[in-house]
Amino acid sequence: MTVKVPFFDWAGLYNERGETFSRIINDTLSRGGFILQKDVEEFEDRLARYVGAKYAVGVSDGTNAILLGLRASGVKPGDEIILAGHSFIAAAQSIHFAGATPVPVELGEDDWLVSPEAIEAAITPKTRAIMPVHVNGRVCKMDSILDIANRHGLEVFEDSAQAMGAKFDGKGAGTFGRWGTYSFYPSKTLGCFGDAGGFVTDDPDIYERVRAMRNHGANKAKSIPVDVDVWGTNSRLDNVHAAILTYKLGYYDETIARRREIAQRYHDTLKDVEGARLPPAPDADPRWFDIYQNYEFCHPERDALRAYLSERGIGTIIQWGGFGIHELKNLGMGRDLPRTDRFFRESLLLPLNHILTDAQVDHVCATLSAFFGSNR
């Protein structure tokens, strides 16, 4: 019988510890723990400690986490914010809704994250901030990016939706700039059973503002003070999601270890394949600790490989549908980024999550070897 490897096994993400999850959900709901109860505070506390930030705020999702951060930072119309073309549209949308302009730039060749040189070349008098997006669970080159930001007087806001727990020089993704955000969408490394997100900062003013803004301007569950001084909205993290996330954070290190193990297997399988361009291996450079939200690699025969894997029960995905934010011409973001375009023509995500069995990983590796063996 052929082993099947769906790209996402959604039910599996619940069923891995279904009885415990049901118990947590039941315990939380049966005591009326719906909105901004102790579970949210407990999760915020744990999240801040885990990533090494002073403050954390639980929010409804990763997209709104970015929007709240931008608004709390006073980003205004006319401001430009630089980010990679190879970013999820969510970051650009939040920049737009904060009134500013997203400026997409090229990838670097070695890590396929935003190129510091491309950032510096895109700076204008209107540039307000740099937004490193730590795609695939790897931190961008933060030493160079912070250096550029300092030299040009720019702020740094990190979209760490895909990188909670990733590190560079021992420091956590999301803690390098003024603030950082995370997504706990079900497929994320720390995934919830619905939408959820997190916001972290060391800045007490930003913290207070975001905490108030996610709840109509109030810091407590109900009662909005008459002297409310920020325009807020409803971007609260659901209490029951917070309870689940706190539990999942308890075994998150194991989750990441398993992802890194699988990434190493894919690396070993693909490292000698002609024409393949691989992400850095887990132990490639001790300065980086990657959490492998995805294993994204490039090969010129991407489409043939994808069909071959699919015929053998292996699901793959082309990240973000195969286009970068710089291609969104109708939204005014059209830019010529040839390196990013080539990346999207050749890139593929292999199945990668902590619930994959050894038999599933073996099947993916054997099928990759068979394809490249017969095609070389």
Ligand X SMILES: Cc1ncc(COP(=O)(O)O)c(C=O)c1O
Residue ranges in contact with ligand X by CB under 6 A: 61-63, 88, 90-91, 133, 135, 159, 161-162, 183, 185, 195, 197
Judged by DSSP in three states, 228 sits in coil
Which C-beta is closer to ligand X: that of 189 or that of 360? 189
Q: Smallest distance from the beta carbon of 86 to ligand X, in angstroms?
A: 10
β-partners of residue 28 are none
Distance CA 155, CA 188 (A): 27
Torsion of CA 55, 57, 62, 63, to 10 degrees: -110
CA distance 193 to 31: 20
Residue 126 CA from chain centroid, whole number: 27
CB 181 → ligand X: shortest distance, Å? Answer: 7
Q: Which residue is nearest to ligand X (CB)?
A: 62
C-beta of 88 vs 372, nearer to ligand X: 88
Helix/strand/coil for 132: coil
Q: Where are the alpha helices (DSSP H) in the chain?
A: 10-15, 18-30, 38-51, 62-72, 89-97, 116-121, 142-152, 204-213, 239-249, 252-270, 302-311, 338-346, 358-375
Cβ 190 to ligand X shortest distance, Å: 11
DSSP assignment, residue 35? B
Q: Which helix (H) or strand (E) holds 83?
A: strand 80-84
Given a contact cutoff of 8 angstroms between Cβ atoms, the answer to whether 52 and 171 are in contact is: yes
Nearer to ligand X by C-beta: 80 or 195?
Answer: 195
Nearer to ligand X, 175 or 269 (CB): 175
CB of 331 to ligand X, least distance (A): 16
CB of 62 to ligand X, least distance (A): 3
Residue 160 Cβ vs ligand X, minimum distance, rounded to whole Å: 8
At its nearest, how many Å lie between ligand X and the CB of residue 371? 28
Cβ closest to ligand X, residue 63 vs residue 127: 63
CA distance linking residue 127 with residue 365, whole number of Å:
45
First to last CA, the chain: 28
Distance between CA atoms of residues 252 and 192, nearest Å = 12
For residue 367, the minimal CB distance to ligand X (Å) is 27
Closer CB to ligand X, 194 or 280, in the complex = 194
User: For ligand X, which is the closer residue by CB, 270 or 352?
Assistant: 352
Q: Residues 198, 57: contact at Cβ < 8 Å?
A: yes
Residue closer to ligand X (CB basis): 149 or 161? 161
